[in-house]
Amino acid sequence: MKISTSVRNGYSDELDGYVSLKRQVDNLLNMKKEHGWHYLSRIKELESYNLKIETGRYTSSTLLDDFFACTLVVENIRSIERAEDLVKSLFHVTQKRPPTHKKTHKKSDAFPFDDLRLYVKWKDFEGQKPTGLDGLVFEVQIKTFLQHAWGIATHDMIYKSDCKNWAQERVAYQIKAMLEHAEISIFEIKNIASSSVLSKSDNYTLKVNKIINVLEAVWEKDDLPEDKKRLAETIHSLISTINVKPNELRVHLEKEMAKGRGARLLNLSPYAIIVQSLLNTVPEKMENFFNKQDSPFKLYIPDELEIPSQFDASGDDNSVIVNFFSKT
């Protein structure tokens, strides 16, 4: 594409400064962003810069607002406010679009681009060597992963098409509407789940929750993993295989605790303590399980467990026992 020399020169005059700005912002936000957030950035290309000028919608003071732009991608709507607070703590915010989350320019039946954009100025940190970038304006977009996915998937068909295609844009914005509905559902998931239509459960969920209740009754919070559901599901697989009910599990654990074992042991995980307790309290059921071949449930036996002599815990490809580590 042919571009006027004056535009090329104007672009070149700004390029070096914004390349340096990009390097500084990239380093800072990659260091400060939360684990799990995604960060990306870009310098506006010459052709895009020229097309922006030719729209006539920008003044010299707004032309460079997004010469350099970056994006923070966060888990969901709940995380947007934290990301905004981070940006405000690092840079001087000059403008916010939309200006408030309570008001929008969108009609209720329209779904145009409306992600949060902060226009900010770089500010040197006190006591550090001046960067020469103080006061340069750039754009920070904050969006969720669903918003980002839509933008990546539809960007070229909306913004870089050889022709304007009504049907193609219609489908793209229909998808955006569905994703916005999904965002709202995620944000309000607890309220939606408590509705009379969904307020129900199945037997498996009830049993897993009973096991979680047992875990919380027997162990202190710090002694349990953050993902209690996964541990409870593993325990459910074991006790359902050997025919022990969740309320019986608590009885067996309390018997072991009364003997100074069970949850009183400090060198074993809750999972290992439960396995050890079942070996001690229901040996006949555990022995029947050990004698099975090709059971769907494979039992991991840590070396730290005390295995009664009648059990074969050697483990092989067809065994119900799994050993990852061997004693040295």
71 in Cβ contact with 140 (< 8 Å): yes
Please identify, among 186, 214, 232, the residue that sits at the C-terminal boundary of a domain: 186
Tell me, yes or no, whether 17 lies in a domain: yes
CA distance 39 to 72: 5
* 6-16 tens-digit pLDDT: 999 999 999 99
Residue with the larger pLDDT of the pair 163 and 324: 163
Residues 135 and 264 in one domain: no
For residue 80, give the amino acid letter: I
Asked if 262 and 270 count as a contact pair (C-beta separation under 8 A), the reply is: no
* 74 and 40 co-located in one domain: yes
Four-residue CA torsion sign, 129, 131, 136, 140: negative
Classify residue 31 by its DSSP letter: H
**Of residues 6 and 292, which shows the higher confidence score?**
6
Is residue 316 over pLDDT 60?
no
Residues 135 and 273 in one domain: no
User: What's the whole-number mean pLDDT along residues 258-287?
Assistant: 90
Mark whether 44 and 114 lie in a shared domain: yes
254 and 179 in a single domain? The answer is: no
Residue 129 DSSP code: P
Residue 196 lies in a domain: no
**CATH code for the domain in which residue 13 is found:** 3.30.460.10
Question: In the prediction, which pLDDT does 81 show?
Answer: 94
Q: What are phi and psi of 250, to 5 degrees?
A: -65, -40
What whole-number distance in Å separates Cα of residue 124 and Cα of residue 129? 8
**Domain presence at residue 197:** no
Rounded to the nearest angstrom, the gap between the alpha carbon of residue 288 and the centroid of all alpha carbons in its chain is 42
What range defines the domain where residue 227 resides? 203-322
Q: Give the three-class secondary structure for 322.
A: strand
CA distance 11 to 133: 17
* Helices marked H in 113-261: 145-159, 166-187, 189-193, 203-218, 228-242, 246-258
The residue from 158, 186, 214 where one domain ends is 186
What pLDDT, on a 0 to 100 scale, did the predictor assign at position 267?
Answer: 83
pLDDT at residue 322, rounded to an integer: 66
Q: How many helices (H) and strands (E) does the chain have?
A: 11, 7
Highest mean pLDDT among 108-122, 146-160, 275-289, 297-311: 275-289
Neighbours of 134 (CB within 10 A): 11
209: tokens are: 């929750």
Q: Examine the domain organization and report whether 37 and 115 are in the same domain.
A: yes
Question: 148 and 263: one domain?
Answer: no
d(C-alpha 199, C-alpha 201), whole Å: 7
Two tokens, residue 91: 């840079």
Q: Is the pLDDT of residue 299 over 90?
A: no
Q: Are residues 148 and 257 in the same domain?
A: no
Q: What are phi and psi of 296, to 5 degrees?
A: -60, -30
Q: Is residue 154 part of a domain?
A: yes
pLDDT digits (tens, 9 = 90+) for 109-163: 666 566 899 999 999 988 788 999 988 999 999 999 999 998 888 877 777 767 8
pTM above 0.75, yes or no: no
Q: How many CB atoms lie within 10 A of CB 296?
A: 8
Whether the predicted pLDDT of 180 surpasses 80: yes
The pLDDT assigned to 154 comes to 86
Q: Are residues 20 and 161 in the same domain?
A: yes
Q: What percent of the chain has pLDDT over 90?
A: 54
User: Does 328 reside within a domain?
Assistant: no
Cis peptide before 98 (omega within 30 of 0): yes
Whether residue 327 is contained in a domain is answered as no
Co-location of 21 and 74 in the same domain: yes
Q: Residue range 10-24: average pLDDT?
A: 95
Q: Are residues 160 and 299 in the same domain?
A: no
Q: What SS3 state is found at 71?
A: strand
Q: Strand 137-144 vs strand 321-322: parallel, antiparallel, or unpaired?
A: unpaired
Q: Domain count for the chain, please give it.
A: 2
* Same domain for 213 and 149: no
Dihedral over Cα of 56, 59, 60, 63: its sign:
negative
Can you say whether residue 7 is alpha, beta or left, with left for phi > 0 and alpha for psi between -120 and 50 degrees? alpha
Question: Going by DSSP bridges, is the β-strand pair 116-121/92-97 parallel, antiparallel, or unpaired?
Answer: antiparallel
Q: What is the mean pLDDT of residues 81-90?
A: 97
Domain boundary (135, 155, 186) is at: 186
Q: How far apart are CA 226 and CA 221, in angstroms?
A: 9
pLDDT, mean over the chain: 87
Query: Does residue 105 fall inside a structural domain?
Result: no
| pLDDT of res. 323 | 62
